[in-house]
Structure 1
């Protein structure tokens, strides 16, 4: 029961007692308990009727002698606080009916009632609203202790604490916490946490599973039917092969090509044979899992062959351009590099690529408004090189075709304020767009704004990029379903991105890369049904654009789908030590796989700067 409830009940009890003792009306009064009692006026009236002229006697014996059976008589009370005792003659025996107070007792009670009424008035002013009790969160209003003085219960205005649990209520947040401060239940303005599970609001149109940094791991908006591979069963090459013809390696850093990642159905890769051989040297390699290439061994040209052993008649061939970067004797021209990407690029991408370029004897200057993470599993660290790799961003966020809480336009003149924000708050702004004007082609306007990289460069006094490393796509394919939808999305959004980059920086080299996906049930189906259509749509777009300054890096086959993805805690065999686990993050490559991905992209930056590609 709350303090307010207790005060209300006390107030009702005092009011009822006043009416019983002081009311001049002869009536019954209903008490808070629900029972009824007569007023003193009614008792006296009843006495007059019942006793029919009976007198007050000095002893019970005299009263019995003077009354008939069932008649009433009164005897002067022996108690100092009472006036008379009322009896009924029960066939010669005295049955006590009630006792009535004298004036001294009534006055004493009245004095207590008056004092209590005054106190209630004072307290009610404070506790009419329990939340207004002037008690600090850590100032105990009620404390219960054991025999040794140990506290086992503490209650304040906004907190109830026991040795096992701590329940706290604030204006914005409330929760129940364990003895070590861990949240058993936490409720904020826009989210509720139950242990490790957090359910929160988002302005994105749908339901998503995200990691601790807010990056989308899975789109649950339209789960549809269970994913089923669309590839032709049994024939690895039935849906073609997917690679790009320009390979670049740095001296001492061979390139790894994952063979299953060259086809649409990776479950069928066990029967696939891949080979690369030089057209001018003796170098060649064959594998059904991992091709290891150092371009200097192959000369300027090579061929990639894929063979399906179930179909011995036809092979898939691709001519390759092989470029090897020797260790530089001097740094030479240092390129300005702009990294545009999502969480995969943000998480140490620029740091790893810059270090790889330096190992090759060269340098690079990275530009942008957000520092990349330089620490494993710390997405909002900014110790890495600058860039525009933005957690949770999809291509339509850059173009402003998709408006969410992470695409707030930065107004003209707001550059200093934007740069002073924390990394996550800068992520929540879009500094690349400006309001559309009547001079703008409607084809480049999205929701009243224009993507304008020249405006972006000017407003932040940036150097123009010589090389743009572009890695968007991971947050795009999950929201799309069907080859046509993916193709339309790529043409509209990536097409606009490249058109606007070319408008601002027509001579910049653009390295277009895509990461791989882990080998996992859901991701295998995504690979076949969504990711391969995404890759094909991107290749088709750029084949149509035919810009020689754009290079597609087949990096989806450079990473290893078997390693470096985060797993949840599992069951450990106490004898062998093996843990049975599942992937908890099947989006972000980590550890060796992250290194392998970005180390393989870095030589393309130097080759672009040197005009080799």
Structure 2
């Protein structure tokens, strides 16, 4: 091969390497073949390593016996980057460790070549050297690059004249240079110092995308006297953004209380009165605003009220939902009784704990698991098998639907799903349960997981219409509450918020309007809970000085700690208003 061909091959190899190692994409195409980038390989590797901030968190998330899910990794400081452990019956056994970059650099300095020494010499077909790569840079025909002591990068031609320079004071390329200026933009100057182009001002106006201000919220807004209530503006918009903001204002219709924010509007419901206006205005459309009238309720504190609560939910309710709601209600003076056939968890770390309140909150369930429009996850309790079902451990109970019975010739086709009927009256009778005062339906998160964008609104509407109509037939005086927990800020979750959560919530509002019944209520729990805190961080990087960790969201479904408390306190406010007969 000639020197020119070698150079061309070398440049192609460099381009390919840059694509694989430096690209921000997950995949690149090289010579017609799709290959994963270093970013993708590293992300997949880190996702499989099971990295946790502390040893205790790793032990909690892994198994102490068996062959699956035994290993985890904990980041370290100093000469050790991370340590690999195996969970042996709750004891962390160290099985390996990876040295830090500092430790590796120390070793490399002992074995690396002297500065400027050639690492690779490029030869032509006759064995003559036509270029080299050394520890300071590279030297090729017509071009060379080398490190330098001052900040920046320079490229020189064969006669050592500078053809490109990028430093802290600006950039030069041939006869053109540009430098930063105060504010946004830059000035481009020719070799005599004359202004060539002023980029500090845009030559064309920027047209901002005006966000929809039609709110995803419904009244009543429920509170408890002396306890603050929050509405998060981003959580009631069809599209969430940190730069294209919508300003919200919550204004009492009977008093001077007014709260304005583009994030959290925090208030006491007793200061608002019976009604408030919610105003929404895009900051890019100041001449237009949206206004919605919302009823507001404020339960007495201390209060008096008792009732039976039946919760239909998923893992979010299973994980301390009933326990926390009861604690808040009893603290405000109310006496709730939670009904159901399966106990929720009373533990912040053990989802399978069965010391919590009774209900029908089942890990992984969506609306179709209750109605049997989805058939791949649940079975039924055969007639006469009630006692055996109730005696089962929690892990054996959760895939069994206690509401279902086999359809008969007397059932309307409107209530039959795949040969089964969701029958709350049958459920109450066969298990000898009291009549619910409140039916709290908190489903939808797993519909987002399983349903397509095209189907989610229609399927939710069909399932919830059946559940509400059957509950209304069985318990005519019960208050039936519809809600769906929100989701945190994240690139993936923000997209799902617009494409799936928004149509599901609008479908929920449509169900409420279809029934036109004051006892069928939409409770906007998603509006009352922060989207910024309370979720795990995966593959965190720890700052050695502050201990701060940085990473992407791990479990973006289940709120934890204060966010979990905030959610169930909001549910408890709703239940307090119902038990006080304000709803």
Q: Which category of TM-score, normalised to the shorter sequence, fits these structures? A: 0.5 to 0.7
* Deviation, structure 1 residue 386: 0.6
Name the counterpart of 2:438: 467
* Deviation, structure 1 residue 194: 7.9
Q: Give the 3-state SS of the residue equivalent to 2:522 in structure 1.
A: strand
Question: Among residues 379, 383, 386, which one is paired with 1:415 in the alignment?
Answer: 386
Name the counterpart of 1:73: none
Residues 255-404 of structure 1: pairs in structure 2 closer than 5 A: 255-268=229-242, 271-328=245-302, 331-332=304-305, 334-404=306-376
Question: Among residues 427, 436, 444, which one is paired with 2:398 in the alignment?
Answer: 427
* Runs of 5+ unmatched residues, structure 1: 1-181, 198-232
* Deviation, structure 1 residue 239: 6.3
Q: Give the 3-state SS of the residue equivalent to 1:517 in structure 2.
A: coil
Q: Deviations over 1:515-574 (max 9, x none)?
A: 110111110110111111111111112212212101111111111111001122412121
Distance 2:543 2:436 in 1: 53
* Deviation, structure 1 residue 611: 2.7
Cα 1:254/1:193, change in 2 over 3 Å: closer
Q: Give the 3-state SS of the residue equivalent to 2:365 in structure 1.
A: coil
Distance 2:473 2:487 in 1: 32
Distance 2:340 2:64 in 1: 41
* Deviation, structure 1 residue 193: 5.5
Name the counterpart of 1:437: 408
Worse-superposed segment, 446-455 or 233-242 = 233-242
Distance 2:316 2:268 in 1: 26
* Deviation, structure 1 residue 368: 0.4
Cα 1:236/1:595, change in 2 over 3 Å: farther
- The answer to whether the 8 A contact 2:442-2:482 is kept is yes
Higher relative contact order (CA 8 A, sep 6+): 2
The structure having more radius of gyration, on CA atoms, is 1
Cα 1:269/1:589, change in 2 over 3 Å: farther
- The answer to whether the 8 A contact 1:185-1:195 is kept is no
* Deviation, structure 1 residue 241: 2.1
- The answer to whether the 8 A contact 1:337-1:367 is kept is yes
* Runs of 5+ unmatched residues, structure 2: 1-61, 74-206
Cα 1:438/1:289, change in 2 over 3 Å: same
Q: Deviations over 1:370-406 (max 9, x none)?
A: 11111112111111111001111111111111112x4
Q: Give the 3-state SS of the residue equivalent to 2:537 in structure 1.
A: coil
Distance 2:72 2:408 in 1: 48
The alignment status of 1:610 with 2:580, answered yes or no, reads yes
Distance 1:270 1:383 in 2: 45
Name the counterpart of 2:475: 505
The alignment status of 1:518 with 2:488, answered yes or no, reads yes
* Deviation, structure 1 residue 243: 1.1
Question: Among residues 533, 539, 545, which one is paired with 2:515 in the alignment?
Answer: 545
* Deviation, structure 1 residue 443: 1.9
Q: Give the 3-state SS of the residue equivalent to 1:378 in structure 2.
A: coil
Name the counterpart of 1:594: 564
- The answer to whether the 8 A contact 1:244-1:554 is kept is yes
Distance 1:488 1:319 in 2: 27
Distance 1:303 1:407 in 2: 44
- The answer to whether the 8 A contact 1:236-1:263 is kept is no
- The answer to whether the 8 A contact 2:215-2:238 is kept is yes
Cα 1:193/1:563, change in 2 over 3 Å: closer
Name the counterpart of 2:34: none
Q: Deviations over 1:80-102 (max 9, x none)?
A: xxxxxxxxxxxxxxxxxxxxxxx
Distance 2:320 2:546 in 1: 34
Q: Deviations over 1:6-46 (max 9, x none)?
A: xxxxxxxxxxxxxxxxxxxxxxxxxxxxxxxxxxxxxxxxx
Cα 1:584/1:442, change in 2 over 3 Å: same
* Deviation, structure 1 residue 184: 12
How many matched pairs? 389
- The answer to whether the 8 A contact 2:368-2:463 is kept is yes
- The answer to whether the 8 A contact 1:270-1:288 is kept is no
Name the counterpart of 1:251: 225
Name the counterpart of 1:494: 464
Distance 2:219 2:421 in 1: 34
- The answer to whether the 8 A contact 1:511-1:605 is kept is no
* Deviation, structure 1 residue 369: 0.6
Q: Deviations over 1:578-604 (max 9, x none)?
A: 212221100011111111111012121
Distance 1:303 1:599 in 2: 24
Q: Deviations over 1:439-476 (max 9, x none)?
A: 11122112221111111001110001001111010000
Normalising by structure 2, what TM-score?
A: 0.64
Distance 2:208 2:502 in 1: 18
Q: Give the 3-state SS of the residue equivalent to 2:349 in structure 1.
A: coil
Cα 1:576/1:607, change in 2 over 3 Å: closer
Q: Deviations over 1:381-439 (max 9, x none)?
A: 111111001111111111111112x4111101101100111101110211111111111
Q: Give the 3-state SS of the residue equivalent to 2:440 in structure 1.
A: strand
- The answer to whether the 8 A contact 1:184-1:195 is kept is no
Cα 1:565/1:451, change in 2 over 3 Å: same
Cα 1:274/1:431, change in 2 over 3 Å: same
Name the counterpart of 1:571: 541
- The answer to whether the 8 A contact 1:261-1:556 is kept is yes
Distance 1:388 1:534 in 2: 21
Normalising by structure 1, what TM-score?
A: 0.61
Name the counterpart of 2:425: 454
Residues 43-192 of structure 1: pairs in structure 2 closer than 5 A: none
* Deviation, structure 1 residue 195: 4.3
Distance 1:236 1:601 in 2: 33
